Structure 1
């Protein structure tokens, strides 16, 4: 049995837990080798501060590797991680510079969690080409972030009013929402990890946001193949980057999204 440690964003927590629960080792299906995965999640929203996210991810990687090294010195320890799995893509270049010390890192060739939810960088690119002015909604984003919509505006209004007063409120709200002008469509990713009633609620929420913003509404189904294959060890090089010890992640500036280079300095 393969033994991995997964480090990922809590945006994908439900999808990850569902995939682990459906592991062949639990279900009895033996079409692929069974795996055991320990899970570690970081808070959502850190992609907005990529330097901080990069530091936290490297700290998590180093902490896991230090634990493995200590466990390896114990005669009672019979197994260790074969790989560290990252539930992140490029993510505003937050994964750039991450180093593998003693254990290989496995990273999806993805721009961000949306690519992972859609199942491939090719599908993400196809949908982006159809409408580049699209804002993505998912159950994880709705539950853990404040996507554009009336709820976001209400919470920001309360925050700005308390901190800066009524006289500055209109200006601050307009300044904060200026970036939304480049979007004209809200697309909900209907997740396989959610039930029918849950998806009805997420659909109603996103439709309300779209109506409030004057955007079109669209929905697509998720494809959790990339995430499932990451967790079960099916790492073909077209979809996953394996970062060997002594290497670090860098952008590839092509359709592969990320690649590696040998570390320089103290590893």
Structure 2
């Protein structure tokens, strides 16, 4: 379930560990490389999001396995309340003060919510398509189970609320290729293809510190992740 591969021990501190979702792997590793930061990372599979209780259990297991660390950095948002109640070990736990990975990549939960309302957006990146159960795998499964015509009807019904397929452009993957690969699906569910630039500010703040209170929740050793801080989400966007 967990991959403890990564880039070794932090240059800044031998006592910092990161636990993160594989959907952010490219972005986190990019920031580590460009900023010259190295630390041990425990990667958890994206498909754990499909069952929040499984995500909570996997995160707690990963936290419980951390040894000899002064600080653990969590590469997750609130993720449907899956991180609330997690218990830190003999270390400080630092969590982004934001709802999910989409908001992390857009730099602001309020911006994502406003953009989502105005564009009725379904978000996609290369990392999310390549990880676990996604809209593309749903369509493939539906074709296999029901045939293409009925699968099209099912997908149209499931995604009738959306008007755009919004691709977050991180600059780390071939966005034109992804748009081409998903064009037929967009035609089926009758949404426009839109590109929105991603921001690395939140990922940089997580990887590099110093983890200000307006962007991160600080949990003391043996403390629990509370719910209240997520009512005031952080933002790295100006204005």
Which of the five TM-score ranges fits, normalised by the shorter chain?
0.7 to 0.9
CA distance in 1, matches of 2:230, 2:20: 24
Query: Are 2:99 and 2:230, in contact at CA under 8 Å, matched by a contact in 1?
Result: no
The counterpart of 1:199, out of the listed 157, 175, 183, is: 175
Q: What pairs up with 1:81-230 in 2 under 5 angstroms? A: 81-131=69-119, 133-149=120-136, 152-158=138-144, 160=145, 170=150, 178-194=157-173, 198-230=174-206
Query: Are 2:70 and 2:90, in contact at CA under 8 Å, matched by a contact in 1?
Result: no
CA RMSD of aligned residues (A): 2.6
- 4+ residue runs of structure 1 moved beyond 6 angstroms? none
Query: Are 1:8 and 1:87, in contact at CA under 8 Å, matched by a contact in 2?
Result: yes
Aligned residues: 221
Q: Which moved more, 1:139-148 or 1:185-194?
A: 139-148
Query: Are 2:179 and 2:193, in contact at CA under 8 Å, matched by a contact in 1?
Result: no
Structure 1 unaligned residues grouped into runs of 5+: 25-34, 69-80, 259-267
Query: Are 1:188 and 1:218, in contact at CA under 8 Å, matched by a contact in 2?
Result: yes
TM-score, length-scaled by structure 2:
0.82
TM-score, length-scaled by structure 1:
0.74
After superposition, the Cα gap between the structure-2 partners of 1:148 and 1:36, relative to the gap in structure 1 and judged at 3 Å, is closer
- Deviation, structure 1 residue 199: 2.0
CA distance in 2, matches of 1:176, 1:16: 32
- Deviation, structure 1 residue 124: 1.9
Structure 2 unaligned residues grouped into runs of 5+: 1-11, 235-239
Query: Are 1:19 and 1:231, in contact at CA under 8 Å, matched by a contact in 2?
Result: yes
Q: What pairs up with 1:230-245 in 2 under 5 angstroms? A: 230-245=206-221
Deviation per CA, 1:4-44, whole angstroms, max 9, x where unpaired?
211111111111111111233xxxxxxxxxx5311111111
